[in-house]
Amino acid sequence: MPSCKESELVNYLAAFSASDLLLNNNLVHCSDVSRVTNETVTGISYDSRAIKPGYLFFCKGERFNKSYLTQAIKAGAIAYVSEQSYEAAFLGLSEEQMIPGIVVSDIRQAMPVACQVAFPGIADQLKLVAVTGTKGKSTTVYMLKSILDEWLKSEGKMPAALLSGIQNFNGKESVVSRLTTEETFDIYSYMQAAVANGCEYLVMEVSSQALKYHRVQGLHFTIGAFLNFSRDHIGPIEHPDMKDYLVSKLALATQCDCMVLGAELNDEIITRAKDSFVGDNLVLVSGSIKGYNISLAGEMNAQNALSAITIAQSLNIPDEFIKAGLAQVRVPGRMETFVASWGAVIIVDYAHNGTSLELLLQLVHKQYPKRRVSLVFGCPGGKAPNRPAEMGAIAGKLADDVILTEDDPYKKPVVLICDEIAKALSDAAVLAGRVVPKTRTIEDRTVAIHTAIDASDAMTVVVVAGKGHENRQLRASGSVPIMTDSGVVAQYLAKKS
């Protein structure tokens, strides 16, 4: 993380107090308040591994462990921020080792407030564009960045910065992202780097989780776009119900000057968005992409492109640059197509819920009407509990052969997840009057992809869905590095050629 502005601890206390977050008037575990509050904070972090002397440490997350605070103290943190106070003995420390604590009512809201102190004015130096929606966020921000870059290049300016679920780009360097929307401190760090690198624009995906848990609180967007809304991300660790999911999405309407509402949103959601909107200009996506050459196929990408066009027009970008950007945009892990030496087509796509998988397979049937569709996919464990049934039903109606495999199983056995998918698949096929697709489970995702490719011929399209660009697998042991699906396919085809 680039270094933030050094500031006295008292300034953080004042900011928390002004935001009605401070639960104690002074620091806990502190006998000399005036001395401590005048100490200089040299950095802020929620990662105990990143703490350096002079840092302020934030105790966040449902899985927060007291050992993280102990590690931060030993690394030189001068104070901690938490929703509770900790005793030295509880942390296995002596009273002399203990540092002061700032107790706040909501650690998630405290983080963006802290960023206003640590990174003053950074967000005001960028034109921020936020995109939310159930599907199509990544593709839309990549389309918009491609458009912006064409225009900015013509003006002799730096390309747009990017924060997405695929990659983050600060104007000079691109890194693989960890979350759809990064944590607050990381967002501000990227903004600071983007400003330092001369960027004027930053385009970002904003997830419902980011809105619900205040990761973008305090940011004001030049444009906020709400693309679409359908059932997803409902579960014990995401949203309890659709009402909560929608309320989270609609929060974006309170943080932008211009609101772009997607053509797929229904009248009720549009009305609620209008009621929440506090800006000056509300635009409904309409029209068609006629006259635009879109490099990405499919109805979903046509809708994404239409939204990107509307956003670009709202930014007053000339049409020639919109056309140029859309004609050459590429999105990692989205409709990446490979052709084997024997004629089989292999498509890698991030489609990871029922709606996106259905649209993907419908497109495949449209583009390759006489070919068999062999589908490789899985579903996560621990979140979105409806996905196995939803994605299984789509596979039962639109696939010919299916290999079920792991996709972030977390603590749930892969075989149990696959059994749920297989049942939904079979039921849907029977209901549709189709022959039940040949279905098998291969837990190792790489082996599953290899097996599907080995079984393919010139009349087969192998669709590998669910992870796309992702290079990590969430298992019971934690998040482990893996090769991307595209990498697995490319490497295996090279080996077989």
* Domains of the chain, each with CATH number or no CATH: 7-118 (3.40.1390.10), 123-328 (3.40.1190.10), 336-496 (3.90.190.20)
Taking each helix axis from N to C terminus, what angle separates 107-118 and 9-18, rounded to the nearest 10 degrees? Answer: 130
| Phi, psi dihedrals of residue 191, rounded to the nearest 5° | -65, -40
Beta bridge partners of 45: 57
The span from the CA of 438 to the CA of 374, in Å, is 9
Which residues does 286 contact at the CB level (< 8 Å), separation at least 6? 263
Instruction: Quick: pLDDT tens for 365-405.
Output: 999 999 999 999 999 997 888 899 999 999 999 999 999 99
Write the single-letter amino acid at 93. L
Instruction: Quick: pLDDT tens for 142-163.
Output: 999 999 999 999 999 999 999 9
Instruction: Quick: pLDDT tens for 324-381.
Output: 999 999 888 888 899 999 999 999 999 999 988 999 999 999 999 999 999 999 999 9
Whole-model pTM: value is 0.82
The span from the CA of 137 to the CA of 209, in Å, is 14
Contact criterion met (CB below 8 Å) for 79 and 27: yes
How high is the pLDDT of residue 430?
Answer: 97
| Phi, psi dihedrals of residue 203, rounded to the nearest 5° | -105, 135
Distance (Å) of CA 479 to CA 133, 178, 476: 26, 11, 8
